[in-house]
Structure 1
Amino acid sequence: MDSNLIKSMPHRRTQIEHLYNLFAHKNEPQIESVYIYGGPSSGKTVVVQRVLEILEVNHAVINLIECYSSRILFESILNKISGHKLNPLNPTPYARCDNMMDFLYNIEKLNEVKKLDGFVLVLDSAEELRNMEFNLLPCFLRLRELTGISICVVLISELVFEKFYTKGGGIEPIKIHFPQYNKIELLEILSLDIDYCRNMILEHFNKFIEFDLDFYKNYLNLFLSVFYRSCRDLSELRYMSRINFIKYCEPVINNEHTIEDSMALWRHISPILKSSLEVLYLRLDTTKSANIKEKPNPTLELPFYAKYILIAAYLASYNPAKDDKRLFMKHHGKQKKKLKDIKLKSKVSEQLNTQLGPKPFVFDRLLAIFYSILDDKDNKMGFNNNVLVQISSLIELRLLSLVSDSCFLDGQKYKCNVNFEFIQFVSKSVGFEIKKYLSDFSHI
């Protein structure tokens, strides 16, 4: 077993040993399927790829987030296995596959050219299979049986396997769990960034300061005391700890405090960390604000339609559904003023919907609002896969969150995660007047 891999992936020794036992013995029969599950940023994909690379196992990794239809999924797998690369001069895939039968036929045909015995197919974000045809998961679990080729399928997901309600008689794969890191483990993993942070300080301030591991761990303890309750995502914690470390070192760089003055440094960084907690997952750079009390200026770049989808999601989260007709339909009829409508003008800020937090909304309502606010006919577009891809991207960016299981009969429910200041900035960038369409402000 590779000792360097275990050192570079702390607290994943058990999982690495499991994978070695499954794939290191090439003379033994290949297993049929493996299901790897755990929370976000728990090292699932990285560990699997590193183990397969070290063992020199022929493999292909497909991210299902990029495959919003079964045809694209099949063609992406065949392109990866065959080594076929798409480019502007050659945009056609290796083979066109419209269904599972076409895919199985092309796999068998490809096996005649490239021997695929011992091949490992890794499907990342496997929970997306639940939104595709019901026969995909059972077929992938039985791929060796259906093709007669010794191919192992590795599924990587954030969900437990019981969440997949298979109707096609899928077999039970071998399961490997990647548990979430605890606070002590996160501290140890984040402390590996010490050399990166030294270079970052030198690049940012053009000045080198010498600090040891104890100084950096002391900062991480302070950082985790603020962030650990709200976030266990390692990649997000790593990003936030790096950008806030610059602010933590500012008093030392400016000769206001010494490295040993930990209490003064804590008093300096405490309000900054609490301010950064408000923009968690948004990836906004708060280090550019000279005054910590100032709101950071959002710099997140989104495609044109993604901005309108985000605006529609915010409106769906913070407007009552009963107000949709009045706010978004041009010919909604006359509406009589009621006593409660008059009282809206005297509504205190604590009672505003924008202050009470987001409410869940269904997919159909999001689309209805999205198309109604796109009032420019030149920018009208029909319902297509591009809309679904933009919604998936917003979920990946944590700007939207999925709050229901896909097995609900009334459709999936979402929630908007951005605050009012952020959505105002996005609205201004596309020339949209957000207050005009919010129930809290539409009476003004």
Structure 2
Amino acid sequence: MMTPDPVIEFLKQSLPCRDSQIDQLYNLLAHKDHLTPPCIYVYGGASTGKTTLVTSMLQKLEIKHAIVNLVECYTSKILFESILNKLSDHKLDPTNPVPYARCDNLIDFISHLQAIEGLDRSVIVLDKAEELRNMEVNLLPGILRIRELTNLKITIILISDIVFEKYYNKSTNIEPLKVYFPQYNKDDLLEILTLDLDYVRKLAEETSVDFDVEFYKNYLNLFLSVFYRACRDLCELRHMSRSNFMKYIQPVVQKQCSVTDSMSLWRNISPILKNSLEVLYLRVDVTSEQMKSAAHSLELPYYAKYLLVAAYLASYNSAKDDKKLFVRDAGRKSRSVRDVKTKSKVSEQLNTQLGPKPFTFDRLLAIFYAILEEKVGFNNNLLAQVSSLVELRLLSTIGDGTSLDGQKYKCNVSFDFVHSIAKTIGFNIRKYLSDFSHL
């Protein structure tokens, strides 16, 4: 019986639920007597362990490598010089950050790579590789052919959230080996989040509450029953599970129940988890006063506030109601008592209770111009403010912007938050929500 490789054993223990991907990457990179592939494309959704696994694998195998993030290296010059600095072990002086070599184009980059010794079997990792599509047209084909151009056994690893078919153009005809990272399922997330047991025990040290792994798993099952349908991002789920655990054990701390009284614990935590779901991605507390405080302390530009309000309206109104809500005199008729009763909804059917729906950029702009009383032309400033809202995680993007319908967005803020924002610009948001428009 063969002894398992310690590198594989370590990676499978530290990165659970990624056994298949660990085996694939190990077989491609670990065998020194085999030629490594010229290019590997690692792809899958956000927070699926792609960068963590690739980084850990290269470190454990002691392979010379350079890892760069293309969001940070947004020009080819910065990209080339960052790679050269790392492969040459060049340390930048903070007072005078002179790179290993000035490198303005692909030809210079190839020349400098050939001058560095010991690059055979080295690896260049480009994280957020989808950004290559926004850079020079010859950059991606040049990167994919780096082994051919340099005559060095260098492997390129591209890490991305999208499929490789999204990169195709007339000059891209090289097909890399692909390693797919699927989204974690509920059982996977439970297993991974259970690894936080030591961390939450430290959080609960001062409370003197004694609990075991089964108690923590029961909590995580309750937590995922609320959050799993809305979010698969492991980073956000880990943050929310940690921040709510102390609230979960609060009745035990206050001697109101024991750790075995699961029903009492569930009744206590259920409304808290549902309120936390409304502030997912915002990293703020769920109390109404703190939501209002966060909204007032957020110094958004004037038009960005209107864009955020428009995004909330687009997420929580049906597109078929837009004309009735935003177009003046859109064939409105007087409403009878019967109409009002028919329009009334129980709480479970309210759009504001069902969660945000995705919307297109065109619809966002249409609502923005409908609710903005003054006339303002469409310009780059508005585009930049939408991007800022995405960066602040007040909006999230759906897909990669290559679909026929265009880029889609989803609003991440709660009603209390956007209501406070709307008040600062004197806007009555209830009047334009289909849930309340009949009142």
Is TM more than 0.5 here? yes
Structure 1 residues 111 and 426: alpha-carbon distance in aligned structure 2, compared to 1, 3 A threshold: farther
Rate the CA distance shift 1:390–1:413 in 2: closer, same or farther, 3 A. same
User: Do 1:141 and 1:170's aligned partners in 2 also have CA atoms closer than 8 Å?
Assistant: no
For residues 187-210 of structure 1, what are the alpha-carbon distances to aligned partners after superposition, in whole Å with 9 as ceiling and x for unaligned?
A: 1211111110011123xxx32221
Following the alignment from structure 2 to structure 1, what is the Cα–Cα distance between the partners of residues 172 and 146?
A: 13
Partner Cα distance (2:386, 2:269) in 1: 40
For the pair 1:8 / 2:14, whether they are aligned, the reply is yes
State the match for 2:411 in structure 1: 416
Aligned to 2:391: 393
Match of 1:273 in 2: 273
Paired amino acid for 2:418: I
Q: How far has the Cα of 1:248 moved from its partner?
A: 0.9
**What secondary structure is seen at the aligned counterpart in 2 of 1:61?**
strand
In structure 2, relative to structure 1, the CA distance for the partners of 1:314 and 1:359 (3 Å cut) is farther
- In the alignment, what sits opposite 1:42? 48
1:242 pairs with 2:227: no
- Is the Cα–Cα contact under 8 Å of residues 33 and 152 in structure 1 kept in the other structure? yes
Which moves more between the two structures, 355-364 or 47-56? Answer: 355-364
- Contact 2:397 2:407 (C-alpha < 8 Å) held by counterparts: no
Partner of 1:297: 291
1:253–1:13 Cα change, 3 Å: same
Q: Please give the residue correspondences for 1:150-165 in structure 2 after superposition, counting only pairs within 5 Å.
A: 150-165=153-168
**Partners in 1 of 2:351 and 2:391 — Cα distance?**
26
Please tell me the residue identity of whatever aligns with 2:161. Answer: E
| Corresponding residue number in structure 2 for 1:402 | 398
Number of the residue aligned with 1:178: 181
Q: Tell me the distance in 1 between the aligned counterparts of 2:431 and 2:75.
A: 35
Deviation at 1:49, TM superposition (A): 0.4
The residue that corresponds to 1:200 in the other structure is 203
Q: Please give the secondary structure, in 2, of the residue aligned with 1:34.
A: strand
Counterpart of 1:95 (choices 102, 113, 126) is 102
Over aligned residues, Cα RMSD in angstroms?
A: 4.4
1:339 and 1:196, CA in 2 relative to 1: closer, same or farther beyond 3 A?
Answer: same
- Counterparts of 1:75 and 1:317 in 2: how far apart (Å)? 42
Instruction: Report deviation, 1:304.
Output: 5.3
Could you tell me which amino acid in structure 1 is paired with residue 361 of structure 2? Answer: V
Secondary structure in 2 matching 1:154:
strand
What TM-score does the superposition give when structure 2 sets the normalisation length?
0.76
Where does structure 1 lack aligned partners over 5 or more consecutive residues? 328-334, 376-380
Q: Say if 2:125 is the partner of 1:119.
A: no
Partner of 1:33: 39
Residue-by-residue CA offset, 1:264-291 (whole Å, 9 max, x unaligned): 11221122222222222222233xx4xx
Alignment partner, residue 359 of structure 2: 360
The answer as to whether partners of 2:279 and 2:412 remain within 8 angstroms in 1 is no
Cα offset, 1:336, TM superposition? 9.0
For the structure 1 residues 157 and 65, does the alpha-carbon distance in structure 2 shift closer, same or farther, using more than 3 Å as the test?
same
Greater CA drift, 214-223 or 84-93: 84-93
User: In 2, are the aligned partners of 1:314 and 1:423 still within 8 Å (CA)?
Assistant: yes
User: Does the C-alpha gap of structure 1 residues 407 and 271 become closer, same or farther in structure 2, counting only changes over 3 Å?
Assistant: closer
- Partner Cα separation in structure 2 for residue 123 and residue 303 of structure 1: 34
Q: Does the 8 Å contact 1:283/1:300 carry over to 2?
A: no
Q: CA deviation at 1:107?
A: 3.5
Deviations 1:327-374 (A, max 9, x none): 9xxxxxxx997764999xx9989799989966634379759969x98x
TM-score, L = length of structure 1? 0.75
Report the AA paired with residue 164 of structure 1: Y
> Aligned partners of 2:50, 2:310: CA distance in 1, in Å?
36
Q: What code does the residue aligned with 1:210 have?
A: D
Q: Which residue of 2 aligns with 1:105?
A: 108
* Counterparts of 2:250 and 2:237, CA distance in 1: 20
In structure 2, C-alpha distance between the alignment counterparts of 1:365 and 1:212, rounded to whole Å:
48
Residue identity opposite 2:395 in structure 1: L
Q: Distance in 2 between matches of 1:161 and 1:103?
A: 22
Q: 1:391 to 1:228 in 2, by over 3 A?
A: closer
What secondary structure sits across from 1:65 in the alignment? coil
Q: 1:149 to 1:383 in 2, by over 3 A?
A: farther
